[in-house]
């Protein structure tokens, strides 16, 4: 029995290393696109109780290098109870339109707000970001250049900036892990994840896949589930890793338990092609998580499982080094040893909570 389990562990370790090698290959395969057209674009921001952040976000959009006459900004007030709208109205942005959620098209609040903003838009290209983000000045310009046929969606880098705090830098490097997974899988032509903080898609692609229809009832996933729908259509997905097109935001320091559980709950709604590899990765982490028990009860197997842990850490370091160089984020990489130390229990605990524990939006 133990021997069979060890063989399974070695097999899962081999699959994990193969997966990281494929991700590195995908990172090197990220294509450069050059579209010279400048279509009319719409930036949609869903905001709920973002009075503290909205002015900085709108100011960053005001400084965009893309021609202002070809940009409209739609801020969707999602039932704010603070001064979000008042703060937005005080910004001198002639191309800003503020609308409020008036009806429920989708059960998920953010998908509902985004959908109403998109329905009110006139842009050929839809760009989405969050109210607590500050896009780089060339964000729109650089992103639009990637929309060559038959690309329907562009995923961009959305780093989290870590203010002082014990765990904040780890949350910052977590965004690097997500970006590496996103960019590597997209480079392979098998997109797994993305961030709605830096996302752009053709309005026609959104309409062709019927927007959030079929996934609008799922809490969260306004980015990943839409990407999956577009990826299954005739359109392609691309990742734009240029530092000039990144959209940074500060680490959220509130309600982290609910946030982390909600992030991990997205995988439950993946299709079988993505869910089976994710399950294999989870089982591998679960075996590594039980390493102390291996030491106590099966000391002869401890060294084999421990070797798998070392090989996994080496593979993780390799793929994140490549990603950090690609994104110009090597400064975040200094936190890798701490992140790696807690990654196994994080995956085991939070993925389980994501499957079992109900979550909520704001």
**Residue bearing tokens 């870590």:** 162
Return the beta strands (E) in 157-246 as ranges. 160-161, 199-202, 236-240
Report how far residue 159's alpha carbon sits from residue 250's, in angstroms, rounded to the nearest whole number: 8
Domain tally for the chain? 2
Contact 292, 306 (CB under 8 A): no
Identify whether 261 is part of a domain.
no
Regarding whether 233 and 120 lie in a shared domain, the answer is yes
The predicted pLDDT at position 215 comes to 93
Regarding whether 192 and 106 lie in a shared domain, the answer is yes
The predicted pLDDT at position 234 comes to 95
Regarding whether 147 and 57 lie in a shared domain, the answer is yes
Question: What is the edge-to-edge ordering of all strands in the sheet holding 41-47?
Answer: 96-100, 71-77, 41-47, 125-130, 199-202, 151-156, 236-240
Of 211, 230, 254, the last residue of a domain is 254
**Residue bearing tokens 């699959």:** 15
Q: Count of H helices and E strands in the chain?
A: 13, 9
Of 254, 282, 305, the last residue of a domain is 254
Regarding whether 113 and 74 lie in a shared domain, the answer is yes
The predicted pLDDT at position 329 comes to 82
User: pLDDT digit of tens for each residue in the chain (362 aa)?
Assistant: 678 888 899 999 999 999 999 999 999 998 777 888 999 999 999 999 999 999 999 999 999 999 999 999 999 999 999 999 999 999 989 899 999 998 999 999 999 999 999 999 999 999 999 999 999 999 999 999 999 999 999 999 999 887 655 566 777 788 889 999 999 999 999 999 999 999 999 999 999 999 999 999 888 889 999 999 999 999 999 999 888 899 999 876 666 666 677 677 776 677 777 788 889 999 999 999 998 888 888 888 888 889 999 999 999 999 999 999 988 888 777 788 888 888 999 889 988 887 776 666 56
How many CB atoms within 10 Å of residue 7?
11
Regarding whether 112 and 191 lie in a shared domain, the answer is yes
Taking 3-state DSSP, the helix, strand and coil percentages for the chain, each rounded to the nearest 5, stand at 55, 10, 35
Identify whether 262 is part of a domain.
no
Regarding whether 349 and 219 lie in a shared domain, the answer is no
Cα four-point dihedral sign 213, 215, 219, 221: negative
Regarding whether 226 and 124 lie in a shared domain, the answer is yes
Report how far residue 273's alpha carbon sits from residue 122's, in angstroms, rounded to the nearest whole number: 36
CATH of the domain at 125: 3.90.550.10
Contact 57, 134 (CB under 8 A): yes
Regarding whether 198 and 314 lie in a shared domain, the answer is no
Domain limits for position 275: 2-26+270-356
Regarding whether 46 and 109 lie in a shared domain, the answer is yes
Regarding whether 167 and 140 lie in a shared domain, the answer is yes
Identify whether 362 is part of a domain.
no
The predicted pLDDT at position 166 comes to 54
Of 254, 281, 314, the last residue of a domain is 254
Identify whether 361 is part of a domain.
no
**Residue bearing tokens 């291996």:** 294
Regarding whether 162 and 183 lie in a shared domain, the answer is yes
Identify whether 264 is part of a domain.
no
Triad 308, 321, 169: Cα angle to 5°: 95
Report how far residue 350's alpha carbon sits from residue 264's, in angstroms, rounded to the nearest whole number: 7
pTM of the entire predicted model: 0.91
Regarding whether 187 and 85 lie in a shared domain, the answer is yes
Contact 203, 350 (CB under 8 A): no
């Amino acid at each position: 029995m133990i021997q069979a389990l060890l063989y399974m562990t070695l097999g899962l370790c081999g699959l994990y290393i193969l997966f990281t090698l494929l991700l590195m290959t995908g990172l090197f395969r990220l294509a450069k696109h050059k579209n010279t057209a400048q279509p009319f674009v719409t930036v949609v921001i869903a905001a709920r109780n973002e009075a503290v952040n909205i002015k900085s976000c709108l100011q960053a959009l005001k400084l965009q290098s893309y021609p202002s006459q070809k940009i409209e900004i739609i801020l969707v007030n999602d039932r704010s109870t603070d001064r979000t709208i008042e703060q937005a109205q005080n910004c001198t942005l002639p191309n800003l339109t503020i609308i409020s959620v008036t009806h429920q098209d989708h059960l998920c609040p953010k998908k509902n707000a985004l959908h109403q903003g998109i329905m009110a838009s006139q842009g050929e290209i839809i760009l989405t970001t969050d109210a607590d983000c500050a896009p780089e000045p060339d964000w729109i310009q650089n992103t639009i250049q990637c929309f060559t046929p038959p690309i329907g969606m562009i995923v961009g880098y959305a780093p989290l900036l870590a203010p002082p705090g014990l765990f904040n830098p780890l949350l910052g490097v977590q965004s690097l892990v997500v970006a590496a997974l996103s960019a590597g899988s997209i480079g392979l032509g098998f997109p797994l994840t993305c961030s709605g903080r830096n996302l752009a898609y053709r309005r026609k692609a959104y309409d062709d896949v019927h927007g959030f229809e079929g996934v609008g009832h799922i809490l969260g996933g306004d980015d990943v589930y839409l990407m999956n729908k577009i990826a299954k259509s005739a359109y392609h997905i691309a990742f734009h890793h240029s530092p000039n097109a990144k959209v940074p935001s500060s680490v959220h320091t509130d309600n982290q338990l609910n946030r982390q559980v909600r992030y991990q709950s997205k995988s439950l709604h993946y299709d079988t092609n993505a869910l089976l590899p994710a399950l294999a990765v989870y089982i591998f982490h679960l075996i590594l998580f039980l390493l102390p028990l291996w030491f106590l009860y099966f000391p002869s197997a401890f060294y084999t499982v421990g070797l798998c842990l070392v090989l996994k850490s080496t593979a993780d370091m390799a793929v994140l080094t490549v990603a950090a160089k690609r994104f110009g984020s090597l400064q975040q990489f200094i936190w890798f040893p701490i992140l790696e130390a807690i990654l196994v229990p994080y995956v085991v605990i939070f993925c389980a909570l994501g499957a079992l524990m109900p979550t909520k939006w704001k």
